[in-house]
Amino acid sequence: MRHALAGRGALVTGGSSGIGRAIACSFAEHGAEVVAAARGAQEPAGGVRPLRADLARPGGCADAVARAAQELGSLDILVAAAGAMLIDDVADASAADWQTMTAVNLTAATECVRAALPHLVEVSEGSRGCADIVVVGSISGRRPSPGRAMYAATKAGLRAFTDSLRQELAPTSVRVCLVEPGLTATSLRAANPPDKLRRMTARTPELHAVTPLSPWDVARAVTWLVSQPAGLSVSEMTLLPTSQGA
């Protein structure tokens, strides 16, 4: 039986952990050739090729895309999943934390897309008939909460970016999807000091009873959407734990 993604080359950023790691592994299980880009070291995984890359430095995104495309031979899918969440009230937040989130969540995602576009357009004009850009946002881009103002702003920026990009690419066969997960069990929040994390978490008691998604829940959804026939584009996908509500 032929796998749904057989013969397709994919670059997944944020591929060392969490949602990015799960997507990379899921793609590989479904037959894709996968390069997972991350700043740190990666645990070995079947079918996933690690790529050391610092996407926040100038030129880092273009370099990562070029190396991934060379290794894969062709680039059919880009998943921009790298992210940072450094929480604090606006009055107390540090400029460095805001710069980090802007660089990782917004600038790196958009720069990776821009670098990958020539490869994706070329592939979409071939026999496969399509190529895919998947940007991993967050439900915070729609529903900001206290302590996450800049994080939410960067994720809302991805919504505006993908909306515009989708219109620009309409004459092509490059599909653009924004995936917005709700509460998900990843290590993203672990970058925050424990005392600050406890203080900020106490301000969103409605989330305490929520059973979070797993990264694999998101990965299965992303694998499904890039497996659709060339004539079908999934433009947006919101994924929420059932207990998080509408």
- 151 counts as catalytic: yes
Taken as a whole, the chain contains a residue count of 246
CA distance 20 to 17: 6
Question: Which residue, 128, 91, 87, 135, is CA-closest to 111?
Answer: 135
Point out the catalytic residue in the list 78, 151, 182, 200.
151
- CA dist list (Å): 74 to 48, 78, 126: 15, 11, 11
Q: What is the CB-side half-sphere exposure of residue 210 using CA atoms within 13 A?
A: 20
SS3 call for 38: strand
CA distance 13 to 192: 21
Q: What residues are labeled active site?
A: 151
